[in-house]
Chains A and B, each alone.
Chain A
Amino acid sequence: MSFEIAKQAIDYLLDEKRNFQEDGVIWDFIGGEPFLEIDLIEKICNYAKLEMYRRNHKWFNNYRFNFSTNGLNYHESRIQKFIEENHSHLSIGITIDGTKLKHNLNRIYRNGKGSYDDVVKNIPLWQKQFPKEGTKVTISSDDIPYIKESVLHLYDLGIHEIHINCVFEDVWKEGDDKNFEKQLVELADEIIDNDLYKDFSCSFYSEDIGKPLKDNGNWCGAGMMLAVDASGFFYPCLRFAAYSLRSKKPIVIGNVKDGIDQNKLRPFLTLNRTTQSRQECIDCEVAGGCAWCQGENYDAADTNTIYQRSVAICKMHKARVRANNYFWNKLYRKLELQGTRDDFEKNRRKVKPIVC
Chain B
Amino acid sequence: MLQYLNILLDDSAVSFCHYEAEKEQRLMSIDTLRAGIRFAMMENLMIQYVFPDNTLPKEYYSVIETIDHFNIKRDGEDSDVCVVENWDFSKANANVPIVVRTTKEDLFQKYQLLNGIITQAKRINIIIKKVDSFNNDDFEEYKGILNALGEQVERAYIDGLSPQLNILTDRMMLKEMNNCGAGETTITLAPNGKLYVCPGFYYDDEADCIGDLENGLDIKNKQLYRLDHAPICRHCDAYQCKRCIWLNRKTTLEVNTPSHEQCVLAHLERNASRELLQNIRKHGTSLSMQEDINEIDYLDPFDKRDDWK
Contact = CB atoms under 8 A, between A and B. Distances in A.
B253 interface: yes
B221 A303 contact: yes
B217 interface: no
Contact of A301 (B221, B230, B251): B221
A271 B260 CA distance: 16
A261 to B, nearest CB: 9
Interface residues of A, number: 22
A224 B261 CA distance: 22
User: In this complex, which of A217, A267, A306, A308 has the most chain B Cβ atoms within 10 angstroms of its Cβ?
Assistant: A267
Given A301-B221, A304-B253, A305-B221, A263 B260 contact: yes
User: Per DSSP, are chain B's interface residues mostly helix, strand or loop, or mixed?
Assistant: loop
Nearest to B251: A263
Nearest to A272: B231
B260 A262 contact: yes
27 contacts: A215-B309, A217-B309, A262-B260, A263-B259, A263-B260, A266-B252, A266-B257, A266-B259, A266-B302, A267-B252, A267-B253, A267-B254, A267-B257, A269-B305, A270-B232, A270-B257, A270-B302, A270-B305, A275-B231, A302-B221, A303-B220, A304-B253, A305-B255, A306-B254, A307-B229, A307-B254, A308-B224
Interface of B: 132, 220-221, 224, 229-232, 251-261, 302, 305, 308-309
Contacts of B256: 267, 275, 307
Interface of A is mostly: loop
A264 B253 contact: yes
Nearest to A265: B252
A251 interface: yes
Q: Chain A CB within 10 Å — which of B220, B231, B251, B308 has the most? A: B231
List of 5 A-B pairs having minimum Cβ-Cβ separation, nearest first? A270-B231, A302-B220, A267-B254, A267-B257, A263-B259
Contacts of A308: 221, 224
Nearest to B210: A303
Nearest to A307: B224
Residue among A217, A251, A270, A275 facing the most chain B CB atoms (10 A cut-off): A270
A262 B135 CA distance: 13
A306 B258 CA distance: 15
A216 interface: yes
Contacts of A306: 254
Given A306-B254, A307-B256, A263 B132 contact: yes
